[in-house]
Amino acid sequence: MKRPAAQRESAAGARPSPAGILGKASKATQATLAKIGIHRDFDLVLHLPLRYEDQTRLYRIADAPGGQVVLVEGVVSDSAIKFRPKRQLVCTVEDDSGVVVMRFLNFYMSQVRQLAVGTRVRMYGEIRQGFFGAEMVHPKYRVVAEGAPVAKQLTPVYPTTAGLSQASLQRLVGNALETVDLEDTLPQSLLRKLKLAGFRDSVRYLHHPPPVAELAQLEQRTHPAWQRVKFDELLAQQLSMRIHYDRRKQVSAPALKPRVELTRALLDSLPFALTAAQRKAAGEISADLTRAYPMQRLLQGDVGSGKTVVAALAALQAIENGFQVAIMAPTEILGEQHYAKFSGWLARLDISVVWLAGNLAAKPKREALARAASGEAQVVIGTHALFQDDVEFKKLGLAIVDEQHRFGVKQRLALRQKGSKAGARTQPHQLMMSATPIPRTLAMSYYADLDVSVIDEMPPGRTPVATRLVSDARRDEVIQRVRDACMAGSQAYWVCPLIEEAEAAEGAAPPPKKGRGRGSFEALQLQSVLDTHERLRATFPELRIGLVHGRLATAEKAAVMQAFTAGSIQLLVATTVIEVGVDVPNATLMVIENAERMGLAQLHQLRGRVGRGPGHSTCILLYQSALSALARERLKIIYGNTDGFEIAREDLRIRGPGELLGARQSGVPMLRFADVNTDIDLVESARNVAQDMLQTQSQVADTHLQRWLGGRQNYLRV
């Protein structure tokens, strides 16, 4: 089908030509514009103002109201460099009503020459009473002729960077609005249905609103012109992600039919029954696995909701069909916990489970690699080591990635490619898990290319964890609370944010040697886990105290965790490596140092390490008394909420989607204008329109994507 002329022109208008506005700019200007995301002429149209200045009304000097920014005009009657007390340029400007002084603390000699006596200037700034009487300090000004017209529209103030003036940006954007094709990409029938304004009128209004414009609507982005721009942006994002969702169906994957013998055997052996939410999620995953294209499903649930057993059921469906399963965790502690659980559940079913991590000794590692390559190992569990080049699978059918947001795009892709046959478009199914719940609005927007299952029901027997906020000044009371709990037969965690000056991330480069790069760490003033361990040993000589952190050797770490699980260690001093994957029902108390420095998701994850048994559990958040407003807000939220989904919504409100998405940002069209917190109606409308448009108006969808993404819609998706 031939594309309509208007659509062809619109698509072409979205791409810069050599003779376009940017094509005529110097290489230096092009490089500067690129720093603020302007790579093509149409990007200038979408470079919308941060705020506006009202230079549409010219006041006489005597009539200009105080306390607000105004536009006045007069003739320079005196201009001199004065030292009162520092060097400054002082210019007296008069009109027929009064006098105002322009004062510049920083200036160039060219300004001195420009502001000579007799020059007519128009100034924009706030008039205040100062040392020289009524004055404007560092106002915006320009030399004008008598009777020069004032602006008819509000003056836009754009985001910029060094070397790019507002005047230059205003000129470039103005040229773009006149020369770039702003023909609507969306059908008029759709605009009428959704009550959306036209695109050309909307962007022109946002760049040059009239004097009567409601500034509050513009600044809060609720004006109809903003609604149109935000909808178009959301629609482009939804179209891009739905295209990738549909393309996945063109890739083949093993169709894993359910053969319920092993599944039934596992369920019969468990000491608990699945919740309704677990059964629902397991059913959705099972249905996906039967299809001949790759599953990409995200399984999310709050801390302790029972995601692991649902993943085990998915693994059994792959194994029953003769395929292998890879399970990747971001930390050794979490990986080892998975290995212990899967081994315990599957060994009785005569299923081979192996452990593969980077710190394995040479011989066990060779054996694990050989068993994976031969197919003898039906389940391979490990950390980042799983996607290394020397890891091969004979018949990988399912890849399970836990805490998927901690892995980069390339890492997840590398694991999936372990199951691809050379020269064939074949991939294993992929199940991603996250104990950090994703708010619905974020899932609809940034996870539109995935299927999502939610476990929103906690297993029976989980007791709510009481959260206490305690100032560091009351540390002695906390110490006594820990002693009492441990002496009464319970176990406790004491969590510190750093090891020495900075916690070493799992799999990260070694820490800097002494004397190098330590100053910035010391400035954080966070408690060292090593110092805390020594101090608590001195404070509690009667208790058995363990220590675990990211720099411990694998064997040492495993030994400490095993001892704590067995109860031979009463108090475990740890860094945040215990954030996920630790399940000790007898641990009923957790103390978190410097809680004000941690994010909401991390605090909630850590808190989830207690409350796993029948006893009453408490999490004490120790904080330094001088709290910032943001830290105070975070602690208030974690104190008042135990629901991970509500905490995630608050986290999204505070931090925005960029930080929450982490590594997933790579390849995702990020939003510049829309806000998934406040624009939920637009998100839903864009999602519905995108699904229909791809089925019935594919040419319109292509035109819209070209305008907004300019070819960037073909991001790598994993």
pLDDT of residue 69: 94
> Which of the pair, 710 or 295, is modelled with greater confidence?
295
Same-domain status, 496 and 414? no
Most confident segment among 515-519, 646-650, 686-690:
686-690
pLDDT of residue 183: 95
Among 199, 220, 241, identify where a domain stops: 220
Same-domain status, 446 and 580? no
Residue 717: pLDDT band by 50, 70, 90 thresholds? very low
Residue 591: pLDDT band by 50, 70, 90 thresholds? very high
Mean pLDDT (whole number) for 375-388: 88
pLDDT of residue 13: 40
**Does 234 map to a domain?**
no
Query: If you ran DSSP here, which 8-state letter would residue 594 be given?
Result: T
CA torsion angle for 210, 211, 217, 223 (degrees, to 10)? Answer: -10
Please tell me the number of Cα atoms within 13 Å of 627 on its side-chain side: 20
Residues 6 or more apart whose CB falls under 8 angstroms from that of 167 comprise none
Residues 6 or more apart whose CB falls under 8 angstroms from that of 122 comprise 58, 71, 72, 73, 141, 142, 144, 148
Check whether 313 has a pLDDT greater than 90.
yes
**Does 273 map to a domain?**
yes
Same-domain status, 189 and 310? no
> Which of the pair, 376 or 448, is modelled with greater confidence?
376
Parallel, antiparallel, or unpaired for β 69-83 and 324-328?
unpaired
Whether cis (ω within 30° of 0) applies to the bond prior to 187 is no
347: three-class secondary structure by DSSP: helix
The string of pLDDT tens digits covering residues 407-430 is 555 555 666 666 665 445 688 999
Same-domain status, 116 and 61? yes
Domain that holds residue 635: 465-641
Among 641, 669, 700, identify where a domain stops: 641
Mean pLDDT (whole number) for 539-553: 89
Mean pLDDT (whole number) for 302-313: 90
pLDDT of residue 407: 55
Q: How far, in Å, CA of 675 to CA of 175, rounded? A: 29
* Pure H helices in 248-331: 261-269, 276-289, 307-320
Most confident segment among 4-13, 660-669, 679-688:
679-688
**Does 443 map to a domain?**
yes
Check whether 519 has a pLDDT greater than 50.
no
Contact at 8 Å (CB) between 275 and 455? yes
For position 92, which CATH number holds? 2.40.50.140
Residues 6 or more apart whose CB falls under 8 angstroms from that of 392 comprise 369, 372, 373, 418
- Find the angle CA(583)-CA(585)-CA(590) to the nearest 5 degrees: 80
Same-domain status, 432 and 486? no
CA torsion angle for 250, 251, 253, 258 (degrees, to 10)? Answer: -30
Same-domain status, 369 and 503? no
Closest CA to 637 of 625, 619, 654: 654
For position 437, which CATH number holds? 3.40.50.300
pLDDT of residue 696: 94
CA torsion angle for 250, 251, 257, 261 (degrees, to 10)? Answer: -150
400: three-class secondary structure by DSSP: strand
Q: Among the listed ranges 237-251, 381-395, 593-607, 651-665, which one has the minimum average pLDDT value?
A: 651-665
Question: What are the structure tokens assigned to 53, written together?
Answer: 């200045």
**Does 169 map to a domain?**
yes
Contact at 8 Å (CB) between 262 and 350? no
Contact at 8 Å (CB) between 352 and 371? yes
Residue 266: pLDDT band by 50, 70, 90 thresholds? very high
Check whether 660 has a pLDDT greater than 80.
no
Please tell me the number of Cα atoms within 13 Å of 600 on its side-chain side: 32
The string of pLDDT tens digits covering residues 72-108 is 999 999 999 998 778 999 999 999 999 999 999 999 9
pLDDT of residue 579: 67
- Find the angle CA(57)-CA(63)-CA(66) to the nearest 5 degrees: 90
Residue 19: pLDDT band by 50, 70, 90 thresholds? low
Same-domain status, 64 and 165? no
Check whether 661 has a pLDDT greater than 80.
no
pLDDT of residue 11: 38
Contact at 8 Å (CB) between 6 and 706? no
Number of structural domains found in the chain? 4
pLDDT of residue 662: 55
pLDDT of residue 518: 39
Please tell me the number of Cα atoms within 13 Å of 513 on its side-chain side: 0
Q: Which burial class, exposed, middle or buried, applies to 680 when counting CB atoms under 10 A from its CB (0-12, 13-18, 19+)?
A: middle
pLDDT of residue 84: 76
Check whether 310 has a pLDDT greater than 60.
yes
Same-domain status, 481 and 436? no
Mean pLDDT (whole number) for 305-329: 94
Burial 78-103 (b: 16+ CB within 10 A, else e): ebeeeeeeeebbbbbbebeebbbbbb
pLDDT of residue 440: 77
Query: If you ran DSSP here, which 8-state letter would residue 55 be given?
Result: -
**Does 297 map to a domain?**
yes
Q: At 69, give phi and psi (nearest 5°).
A: -80, 130
pLDDT of residue 20: 85
> Which of the pair, 679 or 439, is modelled with greater confidence?
679
Closest CA to 657 of 641, 643, 673, 644: 673
pLDDT of residue 420: 61
Average pLDDT over the chain, rounded to an integer: 85
361: three-class secondary structure by DSSP: coil
* Pure H helices in 87-180: 109-114, 166-179
Q: How far, in Å, CA of 323 to CA of 316, rounded? A: 9
**Number of neighbours of residue 332 by Cβ within 10 angstroms:** 27
Q: Among the listed ranges 341-355, 379-393, 703-717, which one has the minimum average pLDDT value?
A: 703-717
Residues 6 or more apart whose CB falls under 8 angstroms from that of 136 comprise 100, 101, 102, 103, 123, 125, 126, 127, 128
Mean pLDDT (whole number) for 233-239: 94
Contact at 8 Å (CB) between 454 and 274? no
Q: How far, in Å, CA of 559 to CA of 555, rounded? A: 6
Check whether 509 has a pLDDT greater than 60.
no
**Does 652 map to a domain?**
no
Helix (H) or strand (E) holding 123: strand 120-126
The single residue listed with the structure tokens 């105002």 is: 100
**Does 713 map to a domain?**
no
Check whether 54 has a pLDDT greater than 80.
yes
Check whether 196 has a pLDDT greater than 90.
yes
287: three-class secondary structure by DSSP: helix
The string of pLDDT tens digits covering residues 55-77 is 999 999 999 998 899 999 999 99
Check whether 466 has a pLDDT greater than 60.
yes
Q: How far, in Å, CA of 154 to CA of 208, rounded? A: 6
**Number of neighbours of residue 374 by Cβ within 10 angstroms:** 11
The string of pLDDT tens digits covering residues 175-186 is 999 999 999 999
Among 122, 150, 178, identify where a domain stops: 150
Residue 517: pLDDT band by 50, 70, 90 thresholds? very low
Same-domain status, 287 and 144? no
Check whether 711 has a pLDDT greater than 70.
no
**Does 667 map to a domain?**
no
Contact at 8 Å (CB) between 389 and 418? no
Question: What are the structure tokens assigned to 420, written together?
Answer: 């691809």
The single residue listed with the structure tokens 């709050």 is: 302
> Which of the pair, 390 or 57, is modelled with greater confidence?
57
CA 227 to chain centre: 23
| Amino acid at position 407, single letter | F
Beta bridge partners of 205: none
* Pure H helices in 567-675: 600-607, 629-640, 644-655, 657-661
Q: How far, in Å, CA of 603 to CA of 428, rounded? A: 34
Same-domain status, 24 and 90? no
384: three-class secondary structure by DSSP: helix
Mean pLDDT (whole number) for 119-134: 91
Check whether 332 has a pLDDT greater than 90.
no
Q: Which burial class, exposed, middle or buried, applies to 326 when counting CB atoms under 10 A from its CB (0-12, 13-18, 19+)?
A: buried
Same-domain status, 332 and 198? no
Question: What are the structure tokens assigned to 288, written together?
Answer: 């996906």
pLDDT of residue 49: 96
Same-domain status, 67 and 128? yes
Q: What is the pTM assigned to this prediction?
A: 0.77
- Find the angle CA(703)-CA(666)-CA(356) to the nearest 5 degrees: 140
